[in-house]
Amino acid sequence: MGFKSGLEECYVIKNHKKLRCGYTTGSCAAAAAKAAACMLLTGNPVEETALQTPKGILLHLLIEEGRIERGPDGSPVRASCAVRKDGGDDPDATNGILICAAVERRPEEGIHIDGGTGVGRVTKPGLNQPAGNAAINDTPRRMIREAVEEICEMHGYGGGMSVVISIPEGEEIAGRTFNPRLGIVGGLSVLGTSGIVMPMSEEALVESIRTEMKMLHAAGAEYLVITPGNYGETFSRQMKDIDLTYEMKCSNYVGETIDMAEAMGIRGILFIAHIGKFIKVSGGIMNTHSRNADARAELMAAAALRSGAGAEDARRILETNTTEESLDILAECGEVLYGKTMEEICRRVQFYLNARCKNTVKLGAVLFSSVRGKLGETDTVPELIELINTQTERIKR
């Protein structure tokens, strides 16, 4: 196995480290289809192919597992080959797998593109492709079509082509991706808007959040339950008064999630979040990853002071490493101060949520602790729960 790409000088610097770029499954599919078309029309094997990506970077990709099937007269009737995915230094479940393309002539004009083994099939509306289509997104489809058309023109072939993209390991790997949750069954999606993988790309994760929100909105949801991660999802299952049919995750991207909801026409969001995440939101921090900001102890101490805590208790809170430790100190200060501090935090969370969207989306939050359970909620939560539950009843009818 070997990689060749022309990306030797394409890298990004993150945390003082030089991280190598890679190329997308869409680039692999287009390069494999281009090479297979060339093999079909010439009858000769192809060891390497060049592919111009939408980002403007020219790739030179090695071809593996090339096969030419011939008819009784010896002329090629079908060709197939593969390109191995290289995600660079991006942590990617698809890194190193083969993306395959099989190409045949067809009597109808144009390039017909479909997915085979290991390529997912769309089953729900709201995604990049209509329900029933192979999960090969628009940009990869265009790249495949243009690559094959280039070969047809080069060799004077005016007929149509059938291109089937397959991923031998796709069905197994898909279980570790968002695909099952999004309603893409049977395999992976063929993705990529630029053709190039930027290492540790936040853009890809934000786009997956956008895709899931779009799917839920297309299913009729105007009000959503959103949790930052697994803790929130688990806790939400304990809240029997909330229908969770239209629930999704937003990771650390609270602000971006509100922005995309506003742009999409979502009318309301109920966040269910661990205090360790949303204590940051109480200070206006809308990306809760620790590398962006970690003011948990400071914000907890400030809320306690506003609620009547003494300087010594605030100092103890400032010395804590986790919000759970801070809650222990607050509990020692008595039930009244504990309750007032939670009310103060929730009030400030509500303020900054509203400020992000300028009150165009109805927002609210339930805050919880892994040890102490529910800690508090913003004043909009009862109304949001009613709207969410009514919505589900309406859609089910």
Start-end of CATH 3.30.2110.10 domains in the chain = 11-197
Q: For residue 2, what pLDDT is reported?
A: 46
DSSP H or E run through 175: none
Instruction: Give pTM, 2 decimals.
Output: 0.70
Q: Is CATH 3.50.50.60 the classification given to domain 11-197?
A: no
Question: Is residue 200 very low, low, confident or very high in pLDDT (cuts 50, 70, 90)?
Answer: low
Residue range 107-114: average pLDDT?
A: 94
How does pLDDT run across 219-240, given as a tens digit for each residue? 999 999 999 988 898 899 999 9
Which is nearest to 143 in space by CA: 33, 278, 266, 304?
33
Residue range 64-89: average pLDDT?
A: 94
Question: Is residue 201 very low, low, confident or very high in pLDDT (cuts 50, 70, 90)?
Answer: low
How does pLDDT run across 255-276, given as a tens digit for each residue? 999 999 999 999 999 999 999 9
Token pair for residue 329? 């100190």
Residue range 195-212: average pLDDT?
A: 80
Q: For residue 4, what pLDDT is reported?
A: 54
Beta-carbon contacts of 338 under 8 Å, excluding residues fewer than 6 positions away, are 327, 330, 331
How does pLDDT run across 285-334, given as a tens digit for each residue? 999 987 788 899 999 999 999 999 999 999 999 998 889 999 999 999 99
Amino acid letter at 35?
A
Burial of 150 (0-12, 13-18, 19+ CB in 10 A): middle
DSSP H or E run through 237: none
Q: For residue 294, what pLDDT is reported?
A: 85
Token pair for residue 118? 């290991």
How does pLDDT run across 4-36, given as a tens digit for each residue? 566 766 666 665 667 788 899 999 999 999 999
Transcribe 241-293 into DSSP letters. TS--TTEEE-TTBHHHHHHHHHHHT--EEEEEEEHHHHHHHTTT--B--TTT-
DSSP H or E run through 366: strand 362-369
Q: For residue 1, what pLDDT is reported?
A: 45
